Amino acid sequence: MIQSFLEASSSLWDQRLRSALSIVSFAIGIAAIICIQVLGHSMAGAVAGMVGGLTDDELFVHPDDRQANHADALLNLGEIASLKETSPDIKEAFPSTRSSDMVWFGHNRALLQYSGAGSGRFGTVPLLYGRFFSSEDIDDSSPVAIVSNDAFSKLWPDKRDPTGTLLRIGSHAYRVVGVLQEPPAGLVHIDFESAVHLPYTTMEKDYLRGQRTAAVFVLKDARDAATVRPALLAALSSLRPRSLYQIEDRSDITTLVNGLFGGLALVLGFIATISVVVAGVGIMNVMLVSVTERTREIGIRKAIGARPSQIVLQFLSEAILLTLIGATAGVTVGLVAGWLITTRYIVMVSGVIVPIPWKESVLLASGYALAIALTFGT
């Protein structure tokens, strides 16, 4: 086997111009496929990461928009509390609603959105100042607030610690107990969060006053979503048999984005595969010319006892060397190009760093090299 590859190397070096052209054409096709794969993976991860305000441990329950009685299907606070008891894996449940109003601190003001939240609502979001809501804040409907970094910048332009100060929303005053850090963001950022968060019981007391809403259920462990979903749907069906509901979480958005970019990468990858097949035809042409030019050598080897399989192995070795060199060059160029575009453009726009799929790219290139060598080299 080693001797066959040594002979193949010598033969390819003797025909180095033709071999180089075949390698370059094959490398270009592999580079295109790898670059498309890397960019598709990076763009899907970037878009999913740009969706701020959603965490993996939250389930958003809302009436199906296609039903006629959409408003009647909204839930009140008592119904949301009863649904929380359907599964021990639910840590917290609260209404999902938001409003907009002028928010004041001293002479500074800004039109901001505000919403209710629970004590576990910011479990994965770091704080810049202060603390999160406590269970006492929820139980006592305390007049406290946590503000986003955007609201902090608008209402406290001097950037001093605002905890303990009072802000006003309309006629209501709230003591600031926490400020969220600025989320990582690029030129484009999609954020579903409100600028000011109140304990959901405070939101209910001051603004909702029995108004029906959608609901957010916070899980103890995000991996429990698969079991909690059907339990919630069954409870909703029993509670409101004439209404239809949808349950969504971050994974739904991630699945949709991965499907879109995966399909796009598949189509572009198929187009790039055509160039690889064309390069394979070029490799086959090199092999045919090589066989024609070495008819005398083949005859001599047969005469001295070489088996047909040994002769085939020699030419197959040449095809494998061509594709391996081309695949190595292609995967290197494709990964470098994908990495440069990802770090210089995708990360700059999204603010999200997505790991490059090095292992998957190497396996993909190796598969293409083996397939082309066996198909066009024998």
Residues 156-185 pLDDT 10s: 999 899 999 999 998 899 999 999 987 665
Nearest to 184 by CA among 351, 12, 304: 351
Q: Which residues have CB under 8 Å from 259's CB, separation 6+?
A: none
Residues, the chain, total? 378
Question: Cα dist. 295→5, 220, 301 in Å?
Answer: 19, 73, 10
Given pLDDT bands bounded at 50, 70 and 90, which one contains residue 144?
very high
Q: Is the pLDDT of residue 191 over 60?
A: no
Q: Is the pLDDT of residue 143 over 70?
A: yes
Give residue for tokens 């029906």: 212
Average pLDDT over residues 265-278: 78
Mean pLDDT estimate for the chain: 80
Q: Is the pLDDT of residue 350 over 70?
A: no
Q: Is the pLDDT of residue 303 over 70?
A: yes
Residue 13: Cβ within 10 Å count: 9
Structure tokens at 303: 């005469």
Contact 311, 291 (CB under 8 A): no
Q: Which residues pair with 117 in a beta bridge?
A: 199
Average pLDDT over residues 321-338: 86
- pLDDT at position 187: 46
